[in-house]
Amino acid sequence: MKSNLIRPLRFILVGAVNTTLGLSVIFAAKGILGLDDFVSNLLGYSFGLLISFFLNRKWTFSHHGHISPAIVRFGVAFLLSYIANLMTVYGLRDGVGLNSYLAQALGVAPYTLIFYFTSRYYVFPENHD
């Protein structure tokens, strides 16, 4: 029971860490290296996803299975979560007429929930591959 309460909190904390570090990479790539927005964003998100994978694998879910299949599953989980995020944002913005900033904020919920549950049961299953 304890791990059922701790895991989601750890997942959210990892998300905060990877977001902070990813943004730091984006800002450094733009400000120090002079890279454009696209490249800076790509570097920042790539770094953030790597941090997320390794922290969640070890700390949140204590996964000891094979790493290669877990990386592929993590990519699939991210894409599903991101698609749900985009569907929510565009649905609320264009379908309901909600302010785009509020739609973006609300889009975090399905992204986080889907990413958590796919990570928990698909990416890092307890049977460890």
Task: Please say if the pLDDT value at position 38 is more than 80.
Answer: yes
- The tens digit of pLDDT for each residue in 48-81 reads 999 999 999 999 999 999 999 999 999 999 999 9
pTM of the model: 0.87
- The tens digit of pLDDT for each residue in 17-27 reads 999 999 999 99
Compute the distance between CA of residue 28 and CA of residue 77 in angstroms, rounded to an integer: 28
Compute the distance between CA of residue 83 and CA of residue 57 in angstroms, rounded to an integer: 22
- pLDDT band at residue 129 under the 50/70/90 scheme: low
